[in-house]
């Protein structure tokens, strides 16, 4: 039986529509593939550190300062006086982008071993001596995101240190099986003594991004997605030692007025995600942290690409994740205006962060 003209036309249109939809689907897939390839390319375009070479810390092979500070990447800092050591975060695993974005993360035990060895961090039962730090008394995650708190329980376990932080960080420790005797939930504004170190934690906030906020309400057992590592309470950490004082911020956020009356000569300033923020946010961050503390030196931290292995040279986070050059331009200009010394840290090398600063301004 022969179909009428109307039915033939409808059949023709149906076939054409299927062909059009097929080509549209192919075009969308190609566009997505090109977009993914473009994003992957952008994530490999790290800003250069060369324009800031004059700001780089100079290695001191005969360092005799009573307090030595080592920048180990992201916001991990080792503060050491030869007898006692304080460690922020203790993050060494640094899972790559693919695992962080699409998979699950957990502490990389081999990477932690390499990081502790490279930093010269004394392990539990190991006496301080040449090539080793003083005994790590405490590991302090500055907030509970994975690039701050994930490795902290394992580092505490190996060094015998106390894990000190928020209830969220405590639940990271509990999920890893760290004994409760090695977990301490911090009290804001309370001074704590560790050897000759006096530590005080003040409220802070993560930079305002999609990862800001949230609590880890129960023991967190990895592997889990990075989104399970909620911020919890963020801290600004005041360290006093031998009549000197420094302040550490782990992210480019702040609580207005939280540091009123807090004085520090040096600020190790978290600038991760500061570049994409508004100029008003950058101005407020400077005012609330640097101006409020009266600091005479600012050392930017949390600017390096934490998806790169720690045995590779540190490189700034690439766009579109951050805008390192914007952050540095802002810091250099404000530093020049207010006579605040801006210095990039020396990776994995001990620094006398007070060098050249008189005790009294």
Residues in the chain: 361
What pTM, to 2 d.p., does this model score? Answer: 0.88
State the pLDDT at residue 1. Answer: 47
What whole-number distance in Å separates Cα of residue 17 and Cα of residue 276? 44
Q: What share of the chain is helix, strand, coil (3-state, %, to 5)?
A: 35, 20, 45
φ/ψ (deg, to 5) at 246: -140, 155
Q: Residue 297's CB: how many other CB atoms inside 10 A?
A: 22
On whether the CB atoms of residues 275 and 327 are closer than 8 A, the answer is yes
Domains by residue range for the chain, with CATH: 65-351 (3.60.15.10)
pLDDT confidence bin for 58, thresholds 50/70/90: confident
Which residue is listed with tokens 């932690």?
112
**Residue 16 pLDDT:** 72
Confidence of residue 4 (pLDDT cuts 50, 70, 90): low
Q: Per-residue confidence at 30, pLDDT binned at 50, 70, 90?
A: low
3-state DSSP call for residue 207?
coil
Measured distance CA(291)–CA(287) in Å, rounded: 5
How far is 158 from 126, CA to CA, in rounded Å?
10
pLDDT tens track for 212-250:
899 999 999 999 999 999 999 999 999 999 999 999 999
Model pLDDT for residues 280-304, shown as the tens digit of each residue: 999 999 999 999 999 999 999 999 9
pLDDT tens per residue across span 87-139 = 999 999 999 988 998 999 999 999 999 999 999 999 998 877 777 899 999 99
Cα dihedral: 66, 71, 76, 77 (round 10): 10
Mean pLDDT of the chain, nearest integer:
91
pLDDT at 9: 63
Tokens 């092979």 map to which residue?
61
């Amino acid at each position: 039986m022969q179909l009428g003209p109307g039915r033939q036309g409808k059949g023709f249109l149906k076939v054409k529509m299927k062909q059009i939809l097929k080509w549209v689907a192919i075009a969308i897939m190609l566009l997505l593939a090109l977009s993914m390839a473009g994003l992957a390319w952008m994530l490999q375009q790290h800003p250069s550190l060369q324009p800031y070479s004059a700001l780089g810390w100079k290695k001191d092979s005969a360092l005799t300062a009573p307090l030595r500070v080592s920048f180990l990447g992201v916001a991990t800092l080792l503060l050491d006086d030869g007898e006692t050591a304080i460690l922020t975060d203790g993050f060494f695993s640094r899972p790559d982008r693919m695992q962080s974005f699409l998979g699950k993360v957990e502490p990389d035990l081999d990477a932690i071993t390499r990081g502790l060895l490279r930093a010269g961090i004394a392990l539990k039962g190991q006496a301080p001596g040449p090539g080793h730090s003083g005994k790590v008394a405490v590991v302090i995650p500055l907030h509970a995101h994975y690039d701050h708190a994930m490795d902290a329980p394992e580092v505490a376990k190996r060094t015998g240190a106390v894990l000190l932080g928020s209830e969220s960080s405590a639940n990271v420790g509990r999920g890893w099986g760290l004994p409760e005797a090695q977990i301490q939930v911090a009290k804001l504004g309370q001074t704590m003594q560790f050897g000759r170190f006096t530590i005080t934690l003040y409220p802070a906030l993560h930079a305002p991004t999609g990862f800001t906020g949230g609590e880890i309400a129960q023991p967190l057992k990895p592997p889990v997605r990075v989104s399970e590592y909620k911020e919890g309470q963020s801290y600004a950490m005041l360290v006093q030692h031998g009549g000197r004082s420094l302040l550490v911020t782990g992210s480019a956020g702040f609580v207005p007025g939280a540091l009123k009356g807090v004085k520090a000569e040096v600020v190790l300033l978290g600038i991760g995600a500061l570049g994409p923020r508004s100029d008003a946010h950058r101005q407020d961050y400077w005012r609330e942290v640097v101006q409020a503390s009266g600091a005479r030196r600012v050392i930017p931290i949390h600017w390096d690409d934490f998806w790169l292995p720690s045995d590779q040279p540190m490189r700034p986070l690439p766009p579109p994740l951050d805008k390192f050059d914007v952050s540095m331009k802002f810091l250099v200009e404000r530093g020049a205006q207010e006579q605040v010394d801006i210095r990039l840290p020396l990776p994995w090398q001990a620094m006398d962060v007070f060098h050249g600063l008189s005790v009294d301004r």
